[in-house]
Amino acid sequence: MEFMRKQREFIIVTALCFLLLYFLRPILSPFLMGFILAYLGMPLVDRFKKWGMPRVLAACLVLFFFLFIVAMIFVLLLPILERQGLLLYNKIPVFITWAQDHFFPWLSDRWGFEKDASLDYLKKAISNNMQQTGNAVFTVWKTLSHSGIVILETLFSCLLVPVVMFYLLRDWNKVWEGLGDLFPDSIRSRLKKFVKEIDEVLGAFLQGQLIVILCLGLIYSVGLWMVGLDSALLVGLFAGIINIVPYLGLIVGMTIASLMMLIQYHDVIHVVYAVLVFLIGAGIDNSVLTPNLIGERIGLHPIAVIFAVLVGGHAFGLVGVLLALPVASIIMVFLRHLRTDLARS
């Protein structure tokens, strides 16, 4: 009975913590992002410490390393992605013209499909929107510029992330020791074991998942570039990132790449090339990357992964999507401990 009472108390406290996080989600985003980045940077800090470097200096170096990566993304990557996106957008009216002049007449001759005159309207609408895009962007920027509070909140959140990250990197052990002191001595040793197991599962999964995303983004981008897709980097990176949900990157990326190939080349053979790129990438992922880097560290079924990501996104937005699988891994560790305790009792 005592064991069941403690388990109920733990579940109630956990539920209250999640409820508190839900109501505080508008202000928690920079803290959660800072925690994620600090957690990913902790192995580097520990490595520098083993080499005799003071912890403060190690934390500064890791922080500067992350800031350098972010700066390089903004300086080098974003302009390329913007150019590729605009290039694709400008080709859509050309594709509609080709479809109207060649593809739909072929369907009409072969299957009795009638051309839809609304394609003319669609092409004109897209062309008009392309001309108005610059004005729309200017209008949005002007609106945001007059909203000083929104800009200040955004800047404050962006500046708060590296600050939180630095202090966590510097005082990581002190923070966890302080949290451990909040619990009674009777459960502290067991709690440390529980946290250690979570750290092993979570650290291996997050680092492995990050490497898988980067590798798949690189494989898809290089492969699509080799087969001639103008928006190869845009599609490849997007497919690699959303592959955090099993097979979603393969399905969505293959679909988008096939459509873009059709828009760009107006033939089927290039669509086949795009499909082959994603099939090869998925084969490398399933046979080499995921088994060696992630394996069964969480033990969640793909349906459970999709559900966790959707729930996290609905409750906490982008940060919820990032935290969905780590939180799911923590819940799995807790359930394993609960099952063990129930079996012993």
Interatomic CA distance for residues 4 and 10, integer angstroms: 10
Query: Which range, of 72-86, 223-237, 322-336, averages the lowest pLDDT?
Result: 322-336
Average pLDDT over residues 208-223: 89
Query: How far does CA 139 lie from the centroid of its chain?
Result: 29
Interatomic CA distance for residues 270 and 257, integer angstroms: 10
Share of the chain above pLDDT 70, in %: 70
Output the pLDDT for position 345.
61
80 falls in which pLDDT band (50, 70, 90)?
confident
Q: Does position 184 have pLDDT exceeding 80, yes or no? A: no
Output the pLDDT for position 226.
94
Output the pLDDT for position 61.
93
**3 state DSSP class of 115:** coil
pLDDT digits (tens, 9 = 90+) for 134-145: 444 445 445 544
pLDDT digits (tens, 9 = 90+) for 242-290: 887 777 888 889 998 998 888 788 788 999 999 999 999 999 988 888 7
**3 state DSSP class of 148:** helix
Answer whether 38's CB lies under 8 Å from 163's CB. no
Mean pLDDT: which of 63-77, 125-139, 199-213 is highest?
Answer: 63-77
Q: Does position 312 have pLDDT exceeding 60, yes or no? A: yes
Output the pLDDT for position 137.
46
Output the pLDDT for position 108.
67
- Tokens of residue 190, six digits: 């067991």
Element (H, E) at 321: helix 318-344
117 falls in which pLDDT band (50, 70, 90)?
very low
Beta strands, E only, 234-298: none
Q: Does position 171 have pLDDT exceeding 60, yes or no? A: yes
25 falls in which pLDDT band (50, 70, 90)?
low
Burial profile 9-48: b = 16 or more Cβ within 10 angstroms, e = fewer:
eeeeeeeeeeeebeeeeeebbbbbbbbbbbbbbbebbeeb
Mean pLDDT: which of 79-88, 154-163, 252-261 is highest?
Answer: 252-261
97 falls in which pLDDT band (50, 70, 90)?
confident
Dihedral angle sign, alpha carbons of residues 138, 139, 144, 146 = positive
Mean pLDDT value across the chain: 76
219 falls in which pLDDT band (50, 70, 90)?
very high
Average pLDDT over residues 74-100: 75
Average pLDDT over residues 72-100: 76
Interatomic CA distance for residues 197 and 292, integer angstroms: 20
Mean pLDDT: which of 104-108, 112-116, 219-223 is highest?
Answer: 219-223
Interatomic CA distance for residues 338 and 3, integer angstroms: 10
- Tokens of residue 285, six digits: 């992922």
Q: Does position 40 have pLDDT exceeding 70, yes or no? A: yes
**3 state DSSP class of 8:** helix
The domain locations on the chain are 28-182
Share of the chain above pLDDT 90, in %: 11
